[in-house]
Chain A
């Protein structure tokens, strides 16, 4: 059992949470975007996590199975395909003949809360890395 693989597991957590925060920031930034290259308003994106093997190639085959080495990765970034909500803005350049504009389906409050969750998750993974780092340092001190 190598403690170093625990750091790889936490590292997968860090990168997954970072991706989640990036996508949430993208949603927030585009909360009022009505024009996209694909046409129509911006479509919100949501990350979906799944468990993933985190063993480094170096240590991979040496580690006994046990199923303990479960990291995490982003399995997909889902693009919202529901009908865009319409807002009545008659003066808007993108308004249809009745004065309605198709807007992105984004609730900033919801995304802000989710962003806090991502940031807490990132912190928890950093705490795990420093705890493991401390254990490794202790083991190294045995050689002194």
Chain B
């Protein structure tokens, strides 16, 4: 049995497999189907200060090996989360990573401050990368100064592990990884979804009510692997890699590219009980390759002769 634990700042994940924000509700929805405390972490749905309604349906469209979404960060807001969901997550023994949203730096700070005051929140993932909302979010994530400013501002109000979630919708994600590290992030997570579009050729209308949305699923995986690889060269802090992971092989590919831990999103929609298989598969690979722990595989890309 290899050592599957992964340090993220002051937090130690019991294994590298995390349920991705926006794809796992508030975690409690899945507790009827399996024990969510077995996961390395549960990244709950993004939270603003207040409740948010999200976009009108249709909110998803299937594309080859992928899906487009424009949910629009529907959510119950941080106050209802700590009152209604957090006690249950705590009782379930979940390692809870809260995805923090905001339209202003003040809002990111306020949400982070509230969460930091409550037991049972283990880390904060800063959502500066959702492509589906007009204000806030990605406007920070697409500017190096904006990224630096929001990460350093939140850094001042929380001692929880801080994990900016980066967008792939920039030319050079590695520079955003560097800006996050310099601003005091404990880790980074990437990639959020790719801004994308699908059109019905008969009606000539976009298939999503919002026009564009975020592409996820296996279709984006090779691009996400490349971005994780580039970021690994740029920063020393842990990277939580994601983008189309559906199998053990996919997970291992991200670790070898440079990810210390992983998030699984879209694949959970298709296979909501895939988790133990991923965890066991990573362990079996480490044993088979006589590696003592996950850390021994991170970034171990060999050059081609």
Do chains A and B stick together as partners?
no
Seen from chain B, the residues whose Cβ lies within 8 Å of a Cβ on chain A are none
Seen from chain A, the residues whose Cβ lies within 8 Å of a Cβ on chain B are none
